[in-house]
Structures are given as C-alpha cells and as structure tokens.
C-alpha cells in the first residue's frame, strides 16, 4: 500500500470515528474546533441562547492557552513541567466536560488531539480521568464519562505520533 493511499485510509477511519459520535458530540467538536482554530465567528454560528453565549465565551478564554500548552507537552519519560501542563490541560478539559456535550473518552480524545496535536495523546487518559472526576462535572455525567474509558485506552503501552488529518467542520445546508 502506497504512502498516499495509507494516509487516505487513515483519514477515512477518522471520518468514520467522528460519524460514530452522538449528534451532540459532533456538534460540540465542530464548535470547539471553530473557536480554537478561529474558523468563524462562533457567536454568530453557534449561539442560540444566553447559555450558549456563556459557554462559547468560556471556551474562547480557555482556548487562548492552547498554543502555550502545545509547547509545554512533556517528554514521555520526564517529569519536568508536568504539573503545569497537566494542571492546565485538566482545567480546560473539565470546563469542556462540565458542559455535558462530550459523552465519552473517544470523543474527548478526538477533540483534544486536534486541539493540541498527536504529542498530547499519552496524557489524555489522565487528564480525562482527572477532569471527569471533579465536582464541577455533574455526578451522572461523571459516571458516564469515567465508564467510557476502556482499560485498553487507560493502559496503552504506546500512542501514535501521526497527526490527525480530518478536522470536521459545520456545513450549512441551503434551502432549495
């Protein structure tokens, strides 16, 4: 299999993974990527209520730290800077999880590897567990989130360094 067709297959796999998420998760991932990547005016596109406006504002503020956080990803075997990186990642993750729109570790991982890059993958199970276990996340949501983390994901011996290829975007359907 050629390098180009392998990349195409991986992109298709990412598209299939995204399609398996709930509609709420898909919408939240698209909105979050719009905010983080500056793809549109999120207030105009995604705001349907005062609660949406508050959540979007919170994401804008939190996501301003993403560029700096990308630069802080620790070495796999070192502990230098771990507390700053994990503390910030857990806080931003908790803010997103508390909104109740991410229902599984898979959707969380999908979003955060796009927000922060492939190097963050080994740290996502720990950040997810820490964030999901915080009291700011509703108890029923906490239970659902923590149960969604498979043993395989929690104990993976290694993670791919391949950067994500598929970044979902909201597509407006025009009335005929």
Per-residue pLDDT band at 1 (split at 50, 70, 90) = very low
pLDDT in tens, 103-143: 999 999 999 999 999 999 999 999 999 999 999 999 999 99
* pLDDT band at 47; cut points 50, 70, 90: confident
Full DSSP string of 78-111: --TTHHHHHHHHHHHHHHHHHTT---SHHHHHHH
- What are the C-alpha distances in Å from 94 to residues 4, 69, 87, 89? 37, 15, 10, 8
Domain range annotation of the chain? 3-154
pLDDT tens-digit readout, 48-97: 899 999 999 999 999 999 999 999 999 777 788 999 999 999 999 999 99
């Amino acid at each position: 299999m050629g390098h180009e067709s392998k990349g195409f297959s991986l992109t298709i796999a990412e598209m299939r993974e995204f399609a398996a998420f709930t509609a709420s998760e898909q919408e939240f991932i698209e909105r979050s990527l719009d905010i983080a990547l500056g793809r549109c005016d999120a207030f105009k596109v995604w705001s349907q209520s005062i609660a949406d406006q508050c959540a979007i504002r919170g994401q804008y503020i939190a996501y301003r730290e993403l560029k700096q956080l990308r630069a802080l990803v620790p070495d796999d075997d070192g502990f230098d800077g771990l507390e700053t990186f994990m503390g910030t990642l857990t806080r931003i993750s908790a803010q997103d999880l508390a909104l109740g729109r991410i229902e599984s570790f898979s959707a969380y991982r999908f979003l955060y590897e796009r927000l922060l890059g492939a190097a963050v993958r080994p740290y996502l199970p720990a950040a997810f567990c820490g964030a999901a276990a915080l009291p700011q996340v509703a108890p029923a949501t906490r239970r659902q989130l923590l149960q969604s983390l498979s043993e395989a994901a929690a104990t993976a011996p290694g993670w791919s360094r391949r950067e994500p290829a598929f970044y979902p975007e909201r597509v407006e359907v025009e009335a005929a």
